[in-house]
Structure 1
Amino acid sequence: GALFVPDLDTSSWHLGRSQMQTRRDAGTRYRSPYVSNRVPDFHLRRKSPERIWEVPLVDVVVDAASATLEEAGTTVSALLAGTTPDIRLWLVGPWSGIGDGRRSPLDEAQLDLRLIRETFRGDPRVRFSEEAPEEDPQVPFRLYVPAGTALTGTAVADMVDTANKEKAGLLCAPLPGATREGDGVLRMERAQAFARARHLFPGARGRDLDRAVEEVYGTHWMPGGALVPAEGEGKGESPEALRRKLDQARTEVERLRARARRAERKLRWFTPGVTRRIARKFVR
């Protein structure tokens, strides 16, 4: 949430050529794993979208207090199986009320909570909390998902892309069938926007904080229908997923082309005249 104001009268000098000028490939190779683990929106990190990193891209919060096992399973399973694996998923509920004493296995009051915890406690991305966790300034986004919502595999990635494209501090997506504000709405918060709003408007909470975010950063609404599977939808990949794969393939092609051009320049530098000698042999 910090705001940097440049001083155009300042200057700086680098003593000699930088390491990234003299040994660019080696420098990138060294820096990439360190930066990728700590900076979720680092561009080289996106070349390995299937990885789980130390600092997640999105904190996802699901209120499971009154959810059934099936409702929680629908939402959590879709999130964990999506195309954005570097998430940290918080299941909020009265977990401390689940005791280990004598109970009626099939009729206890906390049966669904117990089954939800047992189902997902083995996944390292899942956390169990009594209340919504405090904001982590290292994580760029926080997403609130109503329990029972079935999301598409690309829903999280699509919301992040939209938030970045629209430069939105708050992104809201009403789900099909939602009848009132706050009911059935996917809500993605940008950490830096909310931190900035809290700094400028101390004590703002709830809707007042949302209005502050809209004033300092902007709010964007998008249709939620594209983020949930359509009725009767098969298992084929969505156009968004196919476009994302195509973009990744194009990026990889450009990277390999640039690498090939660098290798060709090095070869020409170290072996002057080789091309002409080879060409003469073929002519003969």
Structure 2
Amino acid sequence: MVLIRGHYAHEGRVRLRAFSEQSFAPYHLRVPAGWVPGEDSVARLLDLAREQGYGLVNVLLAETAEGVTAARLERTAAFSRAVIVAGEGEDLDDAVEDVFGVLWVDGGAYDFTPAAEAPPITGRRSAYRARQEAAAEVARLTREAERLREQVTRWRDEAGKWRKSAVEFRRELGAARKELAAAKRPRKRNSAPAARRNSPPPSNVPFPAAPRRNDGRPGAAENEPAREQCEENARPTAARK
């Protein structure tokens, strides 16, 4: 480094900067005190910077009357290039924006929270255990859903059978009602023969004449059986029974 510095010390096209241990890291994340990134916040910011090629990603954390609080993900290559191309008194952030580009994102979208509200950090073992428990729960719920689906299918078939039985019972009930209505309907009887049977004999039918005795007078004793037979025939049928 001493030889390089001595060789290019008077070269106007070359600018030398002081050695820094942080220069070997490809990215630097600067978070203000009192704020904590989420478990995958850094990984998401790195993916954003690599895929889009930004030299600086600013994360907006809070904005008050005093100013803006933000975290920064800096690309080392972008700032090294900015040191070379920046003009006299020019801000490095402006030079990085000209060369690589600068992006602002919302801190809430990347799970940045105040330290007082930050959840406890989950270690690798805890994360693995949580994933295993989640997978087991998903498997259990899948089996339960399958069992309930089979039960719903079975009850649907049972409901179809009961529906058919209800239709058959309704038909049988309708037939029974028709039979009952027919039984309650009054029957028309042929009362003419009975009337003729029960009607008394005509009044113009003469009784058989009583036999006369030798002296010409009707005999009461001899004519009595015939008179009783005529009266019996003249009675109504129901009275005789």
Structure showing greater Rg: 2
Greater share of residues in helix: 2
Higher relative contact order by CA 8 Å / sep ≥ 6: 1 or 2?
1
TM, length-normalised to structure 2: 0.37
- TM-score, normalised via structure 1 length: 0.31
